Structure 1
């Protein structure tokens, strides 16, 4: 027998409440999404952190965003090695099948994954150095970013800089995907780098011409 248990009663109650209110009030829209399929124009790659609520930040409805979440909103470089690549598969589907017109990388403040990378790279998290650590090997993607910011003396400034390096790393790695690069060069796809201050509700966007993040 598979190890799966019934949902807690509180979640069941919340489901029934949603179906009786939000779903019932928008039933025709849900039916349209079901019958006509999804046509999102935007893919969002954000962190798994439960405090980052992408649809709320942008006031998005069902069907608007194609969302992929992972630890520290990282995009790995393109690799065609026959292995299983969840983030890469999501990007391929969004660009080649859904033909989204923009991809947003959304980083955020107080990111636990980024904090783990900082601890690992500074020698304070030996458990993440283990070859068996999925988190550690994933955060290896951000090691070059750590080398860029490690000299910042203020701890909060250093961590924020590393969070933004995670966004920039993902933007750079996106362009290693041939189908992403082709779509960008053809003018069919735009890439955006964003950083959300979850304490203040702020949102900053990377300005490539100035090579810095600016507040919206």
Structure 2
């Protein structure tokens, strides 16, 4: 029995013989000098929506925090454990990132759970249910809209959750201060797994639109 799954060891072998071999000096510089990413991405844990893959990022280019449904809780220094808030604190206060991107995606399981609060918890702790309660007020409003199909409600809440997370980012005093000073930019994005469409949020209106990126030659 191997110490790690065979698929991971195979992937590591490909990495060492491929990308690492081509970028050895980059990795050594990052090890020596530390990381200086300009952008933090808050993304979902979903294995189909990896920010580094979607944005074609190399080592040291993105500081990524992933959680269920790419949520940011409100600022709450209550002495409890706050993984996402800790990552934000390090990214903004230590790394001095200039951009924070909240990236949601289509067919998100966490959002589906938020729209079905009566579902049976996956465990007695119901950690997913408690985490998704960050969206409870807006989720209830969207779920009650009988004029929308289930798919429309899903997409709507996926995008509303991004706006909610950005609003919650602004409850962090040091984030709000740096944004006011023009030192930090908050962005929203939504990725469609099936079509690879990337939608960006207009900071003024909150509407999502496709950036002008030429993907006509891509094989879909």
> Structure 1 length as normaliser, TM-score?
0.91
Q: Does the alignment pair 1:204 with 2:199?
A: yes
Shift of 1:80: 0.9
Structure 1 residues 95 and 55, CA, compared in 2 at 3 Å: closer, same or farther? same
Deviations 1:75-120 (CA, angstroms, capped at 9, x unpaired):
0000011111000000000000000000000000000010011111
CA deviation map 1:135-187 (0-9, x unaligned): 11000001122133221421111110011111011001000000100000110
Decide whether the 8 Å contact of 1:131 with 1:137 is kept in 2. no
**More helix per residue: 1 or 2?**
1
Quote the Cα distance in structure 1 between the aligned partners of 2:195 and 2:40: 24
Query: In the alignment, does 2:183 pair up with 1:153?
Result: no
Mark the CA change 1:59 to 1:8 in structure 2 (over 3 Å): closer, same or farther: closer
Q: How does 1:20-99 map to 2 (within 5 A)?
A: 20-99=17-96
1:132 aligns with 2:125: yes
Q: Report the Cα distance in structure 2 between the residues aligned to 1:13 and 1:211, rounded to whole angstroms.
A: 43
Greater alpha carbon shift after TM alignment, 53-62 vs 39-48: 53-62
Change (3 A) 1:127 1:56: closer
Q: What SS is found at the alignment partner of 1:127?
A: coil
Q: Deviations over 1:177-206 (max 9, x none)?
A: 001000001100000011111111111111
- Equivalent residue of 1:104, what SS? strand
Shift of 1:131: 7.3
1:106 to 98, 103, 107: 103
Task: Give me the TM-score of the superposition, normalised by structure 2.
Answer: 0.90
The DSSP-based 3-state class of the residue aligned with 1:63 is coil
